[in-house]
Amino acid sequence: MANTKTSVRASGSLALLDALVKENVDTIFGYPGGAIMPIYDALYDHTQKLNHILVRHEQGAIHAADGYARVSGKTGVVFATSGPAATNLVTGIANAMIDSIPIVCIVGQVYAQLLGTDAFQETDILNITSPITKWNYQVTDPSEIPDVVAKAFYIAGSGRPGPVLIDITKNAQIDEFDYTGYQPVNYIRSYRPKPIVRPEYIEQAAQLINGAKRPFVLYGQGIILGNAEKEFQEFVNKSGIPSAWTLLGKGVLPTKHPLNVGMLGMHGNYAPNVLTNECDVLIAVGMRFDDRITGRLDKYAKQAKIIHLDIDPSEIDKNVKTEVSVWGDVKETLPLLTQLVEKKTHSEWLKQFKELNQKEYDVIIKPEMHPTEGEITMGEVMAVINELTQGEAVYVSDVGQHQMVVCRYAEQNHTRSNVTSGGLGTMGFGLPAAIGAHYAAPHRTVFAFMGDGGAQMNIQELGTILQYGAKVKIIVLNNNYLGMVRQWQQLFNDSRYSFTDIKSPDFAKVAEAYNIKGQRVFDRADLKPAIEAMLAHPETYLLEIKVRKDDNVFPMVPQGKGVSEIVLRAEDI
C-alpha cells in the first residue's frame, strides 16, 4: 500500500526543532559551538516557539535543565557542541541519572566521515556517557532524527525517568531528507517502562499493614516523579501511619501534615531514625534505601517486616531484603493498597515520634533556629524565611551544611518545591538549578541557597541572569569554611582542618558587577529587614549572610553506625 503521508525536503536541524515543538518543549538551555552550529542557525527562525537560554558554561545548562525538570515535571532540554562542551555536561548528566531526572541532551558532533580520526573537538561522548545515561544514540543520517528524538523523550520521561543523550554529526544536521512529520511514541519494543501490577502482592502488603502495631512509612521522590502525591496522601490519611521523607521526597506531604514526622538519613530528624529500628512493619514508597538513609545495613530495621513499593525492579532487594515487593507505578499501586488497608490512627505509636522530636527540638532546633546571642546561625535564617514566605516558595539548595539546614527546616506546602542534588552531591548545582526552576515556575518565589564554597563553582551563571532577567533570590550562607568537610574533620580527624578554610570575595560586589542588587548581613538585627528587602525587590537579589564559622549540623548518624545510633551532640560521638 502506498504511503499517503506527504513529505517536504527538510534538513536534520529543522526536523529536530520541529520535533521539540511537537514535544511541547518551551525552554532550552545551551551554548553554541562549531559542531552544533547548523542547529543554532535553524533555531534563529524558531525563537517564537522555543525559548533558548544562553548559559555561561555547559555545566550551567545541564543543571538548569535539571532544576527546570524537577519543578515543572517536564523533560529538560540541553544543547551543547562537541568535545569539551559535551564533556562539560558529564557531571550534570551523572547528577540527573542518580536522581532520576528526565533530561534530553542534544550534542553536536564532527562530520560522520571524520569520526575516529581525532578531528578537532571530537570526543567519543557515547562511550563516556553510557554508564550515566538511560539511553544514548549517535545520529549520522538526518532521516533518523524524528524517530530518535521520539524515542529519547519517551525513554527519558517514562518509567523511572533519567537523562538521555543524542549525538548528532554535523552532516546529519545539514543534509536534507524527505520529512513526513514528527510522531511521538509511547511504545518501544524490548523496553518496558513499568512492571505489571500483581494484585497478590498488594493483598500481602495490606495484610501486613493491617496487622501491624507500629507501622512506619518511608517515602521518597518516586512519588513526585510518578505524580502520585494525592494517592499517597490518601493512603497515609486512611492508614494513619507516621511517615518520614528522604531528602528528595520532601514536599510530598506538607511540612505541617500531622503524620509527617520528619526527615530520614544521616542528618535527618532524631525520631524517624531511632524508631526505624523499633517499628514492626516498614513501608518504603518510591525510595531506594541508599546508604545515607540506612547507615550500616547489618543494623538496619532487622526487627521489621519490610514492604517496598517501587517502579524499578532493580531496586527491590538491592540493599534491604523485603518481605513483600510491590513492583509498579505508585500512582497505580497506592490506590489499590489504600482500598485494602484499614482505617486506623496509631496514636500511641505516633506519640513516641512526637516525644523524641520534642527532645530534638529542645536540644538542637530551638537554639539553632531561635538563638538569642552570638553569631547568626543558618537555622535562624530559615526561621525568618519561613515566617515571611509561609511555605509557598521554591527552595533550591547547593551541597553542604546549608543544604541539610534548608532541607531540614524549610516549611513547604507544595510538592516540587525542594530542589537539591541528592545522590551525587554536586557542589555548584544550586545557582543554575535555581535559574531552571524560575523558568519552570516564573510566578513563584525561587530561592537559591549556597555556601561560600559552592557559590563560586558556577558563579558565572550570574551572567545568565544579567542577560535574561531570571528572578532568583540568592542567599549565600558564608562561614568562611567548606563547612561539611570541616565538620567531618573536626569530628573524625582530630580537628585537623586540611584545606577547608576558604577565602571568598564580597559576593554583593560580585553581584553588583552583574547589575544584580545585593547586600551583606553581619548582625542579627539586620537579618529580617534584609530578607524583607530581598523579597520586596522585583528582580534577582543576592544576600550574603555571615554565619557562625564553626556551626555543625546535628543530629548526625556517624559514619559506620546504625540509624538508631544517631547523636544529638558532638560530644556523643
Percentage of the residues of the chain whose pLDDT score is greater than 90: 97
Domain boundaries, the chain: 8-179, 199-347, 375-547
From the candidates 121, 352, 460, 490, which is the catalytic residue? Answer: 121
How confident is the model over 297-310, as a mean pLDDT? 97
Does the structure show a pLDDT above 50 at 64?
A: yes
How confident is the model over 437-445, as a mean pLDDT? 98
Evaluate whether 8-179 and 375-547 have a shared fold. Answer: yes
Give yes or no: 120 in active site: yes
- Give me the pLDDT at residue 107, please: 98
Reported as a single tens digit per residue, the pLDDT across 194-221 is 999 999 999 999 999 999 999 999 999 9
SS3 content of the chain, % helix, strand, coil (to 5): 45, 20, 40
Give yes or no: 355 in active site: no
From the candidates 120, 183, 303, 549, which is the catalytic residue? Answer: 120
From the candidates 23, 29, 58, 122, which is the catalytic residue? Answer: 58
Class of domain 375-547: alpha beta
- Give me the pLDDT at residue 420, please: 98
Give yes or no: 183 in active site: no
How confident is the model over 485-512, as a mean pLDDT? 96
Strands 51-54 and 76-80: unpaired
From the candidates 151, 170, 331, 473, which is the catalytic residue? Answer: 170
Class of domain 8-179: alpha beta
Helix (H, G, I), strand (E, B) or coil at 207: helix
How does residue 114 score in pLDDT terms, banded at 50, 70 and 90?
A: very high
Is 11 in contact with 146 (CB distance < 8 Å)?
Answer: no
- Give me the pLDDT at residue 454, please: 97
Give yes or no: 121 in active site: yes
Does the structure show a pLDDT above 70 at 82?
A: yes
Percentage of the residues of the chain whose pLDDT score is greater than 70: 99
How confident is the model over 126-130, as a mean pLDDT? 98
135-139 β-sheet, strand order: 51-54, 27-30, 76-80, 103-109, 163-169, 135-139
- Give me the pLDDT at residue 3, please: 46
Give yes or no: 266 in active site: no
How does residue 572 score in pLDDT terms, banded at 50, 70 and 90?
A: confident
Which of these CATH numbers, 3.40.50.2300, 3.40.470.10, 3.40.720.10, 3.40.50.1220, describes 199-347? Answer: 3.40.50.1220
Does the structure show a pLDDT above 70 at 156?
A: yes
How confident is the model over 334-343, as a mean pLDDT? 98
CA–CA dist 441, 418 (Å, integer): 13
Which helix (H) or strand (E) is 76 found in, with range?
strand 76-80
- Give me the pLDDT at residue 2, please: 41
Reported as a single tens digit per residue, the pLDDT across 160-190 is 999 999 999 999 999 999 999 999 999 999 8
Is 7 in contact with 176 (CB distance < 8 Å)?
Answer: no
pTM tops 0.95, yes or no: yes
How does residue 573 score in pLDDT terms, banded at 50, 70 and 90?
A: confident
| Residue whose entry in the numeric block shows the C-alpha cell 515543572 | 72
From the candidates 427, 484, 534, 556, which is the catalytic residue? Answer: 484
How confident is the model over 319-338, as a mean pLDDT? 97
CA–CA dist 277, 299 (Å, integer): 8
- Give me the pLDDT at residue 4, please: 58
Angle ∠(265,271,276) on CA atoms, nearest 5 = 65
How confident is the model over 61-70, as a mean pLDDT? 98
- 435 grid coordinates: 535559574
